[in-house]
Amino acid sequence: MSLASCSSADDPVVGTGQTAESRRLVRIQLDAENPPASKGILEASGEAQPFPVGFGRLGLACAGTSFQDGLTPLGRFRVNAILSESDFAMEPDLVEQSGKSEAELKTSLFQNMSDIDFKGDGQSSEYGIGYISLAPVPASEQPFQFNTYNGKFRWYSFAIHGTNDERRVGQSVTGGCINVNQDTLKTLLGTLQLGDEVVISSDSPCLP
């Protein structure tokens, strides 16, 4: 697979019902050559709050590509679901795709996901305290779906989420998602809403 140059994504468009003053925006700049230098910035209420981030163990995928395990895609994204033990927001079309009621999802979805031990090391809560699902803008075909894993019904997507080992933040170690520490995730969960935008860019090469 050849390498392609990745440029920064264009500024996001203000969403429906949002003004330039009220929108919430997360900008994430990834450095594949020096992962600890990667950072995110939350822009909300006129303030910019930087925070450390980790990303995919296999590097970066160019904007507009279909998600692949281990690669973090670049580009523009919108928040389409926000999940934690105390938060639940999900776009109506996703609720419909799930085949379950919103009440069922609100009660069990994040807990089911949090209980899964993906690495088989006896440690669960691999999403930390929350999961912020992201959909590409403009929309492109993706492998994301609701499914059952080890008997647990869950949502699989590209996301910003926490970790059960904060030493992984600032490293190139994830399955492709952006990981953040608990304090950052608390801030994001308390600030972001459905439709808010996330821009992920890098000066490093990406895979087309």
Which residues lie below 8 Å from residue 144, measured CB to CB, with a gap of 6+? 67, 155, 156, 157, 158
**Secondary structure element (H or E) that encloses residue 39, with its range:** strand 39-44
Q: Is residue 4 part of a domain?
A: no
> Is residue 46 one of the residues assigned to a domain?
yes
Range(s) of the domain holding residue 78: 25-202
154 found inside a domain: yes
- Domains identified in the chain, total number: 1
Closest Cα to residue 181, out of 37, 41, 27, 53?
53
In a domain, 18, yes or no: no
Specify if 85 maps to a domain. yes
pTM reported for the whole predicted model: 0.88
78: CATH:
2.40.440.10
| Per-position pLDDT tens, the chain of length 208 | 223 333 334 444 444 444 545 568 999 999 999 999 999 999 976 678 799 999 999 999 999 999 999 999 999 999 999 999 999 999 999 999 999 999 999 999 999 999 887 766 667 788 999 999 999 999 999 999 999 988 889 998 999 999 998 999 999 999 999 999 999 999 999 999 999 999 999 999 999 9
- The verdict on residue 10 lying in a domain is no
